[in-house]
Amino acid sequence: MTGDNGNRLGNAVSPYLLQHRDNPVHWREWSAETLAEAQALDRPILLSVGYAACHWCHVMAHESFEDEATAAVMNRLFVNVKVDREERPDLDHLYMSALHAIGEQGGWPMTMFLTPRGEPFHGGTYFPKRASHGRPGFVELLEAVGRAWEERRGQLQDGADRISAHLAGFLAGAKAHGALPPAAFEETAGRIARMVDPVLGGMGGAPKFPNAPYFEILARSAFPTGPAAHREAFLTTLSSLCEGGIYDHLGGGLHRYSVDARWLVPHFEKMLYDNAQFLRHLLWGWRATGQDLYRRRIEETVGWLAREMVVEGGGLAASLDADSPDEDGHPEEGAFYVWAPTAIDAALGERAADFRRRYDAGPRGNWEGRIVLNRLGGTGPAEAFHDEERGILLALRQARVRPGRDDKVLADWNGMAIRALAEIAHVLEHDAARVLAVNAYRFVMRALWRDGRLHHAAREGRVAGLASTADYGAMIAAASQLFALTLDARYLADAKRLAEAAERWHADGTGGHWMTAEDAGDVLIRLRGDGDEAVPSPTAQLLEGLALLAQISGEAAEIERAGRAMETAAGRIAANPAAYPGILSALHRRDHAGELAILGDARGDLVTQANRMVDLSRLDFTADDPARLPGVLSSVDPGRRPAAYLCAGQSCRPPVFDARVLEALLAGA
């Protein structure tokens, strides 16, 4: 349905919104114009937030949004707005916080009821078409909210005012500059370590998430010479992610989370942000242990990115869907990834028995009669990965109908992936990772840097959304890491341009920053963005990017900018620092930053030793000519090669020439 009063999603950039363009619902995109329409009609807004890879978003769409009768009620009572949470993370953050304030558990699809000015007064997540499991049917809910708006509007407005006031204090509040308690980082790391499952890793029961920001705290605490318990908690979790069904053992890459406590059955969508963080964690694990398992997962996941996630021009797509058609053509979660026991026997013949034992592929299956491949409970040699058998199954799987791909390119998620790939290219001399990183970076800066500022999303030559501090922070970090990899001064210049633009559009006048740009006029409240989700918060990502730039450039202006931003963020989280692991990690980098320059030893003993000594706050450079290095490093020259310099705070220790001496130096001996 199209026209002035019909569905207006046909010109959307987001693939998720385009999935809904043929709904009988009169959907609008979020905009100042849509808010004005709601106010002119004096109707409440029904806001539906989801994303393309979301299974329950698809379920609610099929049940309700594609149904003519349900749509008629929506169209009669509300101005209906569909939002892609990945395209508008600011709106998602705002209204998810409102949902929590109402007392509801968060998740997607998110269904919120707003006043015509965008103030939230009621909401939930997935609502079934008909009442079930203690939840009202969706039409029943719509009618009830519609009656309440007509009969008790004053009460609803009072509630909306209270929620909005709470959100303003919680999401936009500011405090004076201040320092964290001295032991905040160590206490937080200890608390996280005590929460980790000692057998299978991860925190909590079902569902079980990778919780990357929390596990970065553990890694920062553990390496290179921190508490053994923190090291084990990090590595146990990493190994379980590598061996569980949450990992795609045929195609590579990590699914979003496990629905059980054992990492066995995943929620099958694959997100770029999860895999960007996973790659960095794998690299830390490999450097610390040399385990082949971690190196294999790096190779496989980089291969998956190159094979399935690159869009035309080199950018990296946002996600792969959880659902795909089953053998009867019906959408089913995980249909692309799971196996019938008989199918494995048919494909592998006499090889099947050993493979089934190692990959938990018994004759009765391990999930609803089907098989989610995993190595958690399998038997047989740990080093047996059955490469040939996995290759056969992968080739067969490639012939299935593939899950949908959300091919929009997001600046922040691409920045995270670029940084991870550049680190892998640097440490492992990984050509494929280097190519992916450079091409994705070029795409983002070509497609999303316009008129002296960054934008958030691109697809098929169009852009959507102003950048947030997450976009700037992730891309500053990406440019800085590419400079460390290549010593190409253009990346360092880009990082400075990005930092200047972030200051221009997001500065708050006190040294800190708002998540939203100053001209983002369609958001109820200007947000800070301090709280982490599956990724570090927008504030944390900007702090990390600014800290990296300060560290890599050594310039007083960049050091001062990063320092001011750190102080304002520290002041805001000082009362409860453990709730903000992303900001804590960035502050830890600032407080422990160091640089290691290795001259004339591209792949020798000094580099090998440096790679073994994981330090998440240290930046490593290799060069023959120190003049190519930044800051104080450019002036070092021992007159002898190979040599290593460890520097911190714009001063360097005397050079070392022996790998054993370097080991002691990096260990703090």
For 523-563, the DSSP string reads: -SS-------SSS--HHHHHHHHHHHHHHHH--HHHHHHHH
Average pLDDT over residues 310-329: 91
Q: What is the pLDDT of residues 490-542, one digit of tens each?
A: 999 999 999 999 999 999 999 999 999 999 989 998 999 999 999 999 999 99
Rg (C-alpha) for the chain, rounded Å, is 25
Distance (Å, rounded) from C-alpha 357 to C-alpha 119?
Answer: 56
Distance (Å, rounded) from C-alpha 198 to C-alpha 285?
Answer: 17
Q: Which residue has the tokens 């079934």?
A: 128
pLDDT of residue 385: 94
Residue 175 backbone phi and psi in degrees, to 5: -125, 165
In the predicted structure, residue 37 carries a pLDDT above the cut 60: yes
Range 131-151 burial, b when 16+ CB lie within 10 A, else e: eeeeebbbbebbeebbebbee
Taking CA atoms, 506 is separated from 96, 133, 516, 519, 521, in Å, by: 22, 44, 7, 9, 13
State the CB neighbour count (10 A cutoff) for residue 432.
Answer: 15
> Bigger pLDDT: 354 or 325?
354
- The percent of residues in the chain predicted with pLDDT above 70, rounded, is 98
Distance (Å, rounded) from C-alpha 140 to C-alpha 184?
Answer: 48
Average pLDDT over residues 264-277: 97
In the predicted structure, residue 363 carries a pLDDT above the cut 60: yes
Cβ burial of 296 (10 Å; 0-12, 13-18, 19+) is middle
Six-digit token pair at 30?
Answer: 């979020």
Contact between 275 and 301 (Cβ < 8 Å): yes
Distance (Å, rounded) from C-alpha 653 to C-alpha 134?
Answer: 66
All structural domains of the chain = 15-172 (3.40.30.10), 184-321+406-591 (1.50.10.10), 337-399 (no CATH), 593-666 (3.40.30)
DSSP 458-519: EETTEEEEE--HHHHHHHHHHHHHHHHHH--HHHHHHHHHHHHHHHHHHB-SSS-B-SS-TT
Q: How far is CA 127 from the centre of its chain?
A: 27
Indicate the pLDDT class of residue 119, thresholds 50, 70 and 90.
very high
Q: Return the DSSP state at 626.
A: G
Average pLDDT over residues 290-294: 97
Q: What is the dihedral of CA 34, 35, 37, 38, to 10 degrees?
A: 120
> Bigger pLDDT: 135 or 488?
488
pLDDT of residue 602: 75
Give SS3 for 438: helix
**Mean pLDDT for the chain?**
94
pLDDT of residue 2: 38
Contacts of 533 (CB under 8 A, 6+ apart): none
Indicate the pLDDT class of residue 178, thresholds 50, 70 and 90.
low
Contact between 287 and 608 (Cβ < 8 Å): no
Six-digit token pair at 591?
Answer: 């407080």
Q: How many residues are given for the chain?
A: 669
Average pLDDT over residues 436-443: 98
Six-digit token pair at 568?
Answer: 């304002």
Six-digit token pair at 404?
Answer: 């949908």
Contacts of 450 (CB under 8 A, 6+ apart): 463
In the predicted structure, residue 134 carries a pLDDT above the cut 90: no
Distance (Å, rounded) from C-alpha 393 to C-alpha 221?
Answer: 40
State the CB neighbour count (10 A cutoff) for residue 514.
Answer: 22
Q: 412: part of which helix (H) or strand (E)?
A: helix 411-428
